[in-house]
């Protein structure tokens, strides 16, 4: 996977239980993890209490400002 240390803030859209969220955090990125499933976000938060999570339906307008993130990741 592409890693560039010039970019620090990642938005993980549709993170599920956080496989890639945890990967990015492990590489030193500041990650905001989003998903439509509160259950998945709760699971992720219980496994990694430091992770920032946001309940987000991607068919709705995103709850973030333009240029807030260096990378937007969706798998």
Element (H, E) at 11: strand 9-13
How many Cα atoms are found within 13 Å in the side-chain-facing hemisphere of 16? 6
Q: What is the pTM of this model?
A: 0.88
pLDDT-derived band at 33, boundaries 50, 70, 90: very high
Determine whether 10 is exposed, middle or buried from the number of CB atoms within 10 Å of its CB (0-12, 13-18, 19+). Answer: buried
Contact (CB, 8 A) for 31 and 18: no
Give residue-wise pLDDT tens across range 4-32.
Answer: 567 799 999 999 999 999 999 999 999 99
Which tokens sit at 4? 């560039």
Which candidate, 57, 11, 19, places its Cα nearest to that of 38?
Answer: 57
């Amino acid at each position: 996977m592409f890693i560039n240390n010039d970019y620090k803030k990642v938005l993980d859209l549709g993170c599920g239980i956080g496989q890639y969220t945890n990967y990015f955090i492990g590489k030193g990125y500041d990650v905001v993890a989003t998903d439509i499933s509160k259950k998945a976000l709760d699971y992720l938060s219980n496994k990694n209490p430091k992770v920032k999570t946001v309940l987000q339906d991607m068919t709705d307008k995103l709850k973030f400002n333009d240029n807030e993130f260096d990378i937007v990741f969706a798998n």
